[in-house]
Amino acid sequence: MSDVKQRVINVIAQTLKVDEARITDNARFVEDLGAESIQSIELIAAFEEEFDLDMDEDAAVAVKTVGGAVDFIQERLDD
């Protein structure tokens, strides 16, 4: 597992208060992990802090799965 993926999982588990075992690549933030709209914003802020990034909020909110978030963040880190 990549460092980025593990850090994403840690942030999701802490922010959404869910067991890491539920956090899979295909897990959807709202439908599978129970994220509410305010938590989506909290997740973006937590990812920005964890990875020292500034993310476009509209683009970030459009990401619906854990694997999508990992890819989204990795692309930003590679820029």
Domains of the chain by start residue, with CATH: 3-78 (1.10.1200.10)
| pLDDT for residue 70 | 97
Of residues 37 and 77, more confidence is placed in 77
Q: What confidence tens digit (pLDDT) does each residue in 1-58 have?
A: 789 999 999 999 999 999 999 999 999 999 999 999 899 999 999 999 999 999 998 9
SS3 state at 9: helix
Full-model pTM? 0.93
- DSSP E strands, 1-79: none
Q: Is the pLDDT of residue 76 over 90?
A: yes
Burial class (CB in 10 A: 0-12, 13-18, 19+), 78: exposed
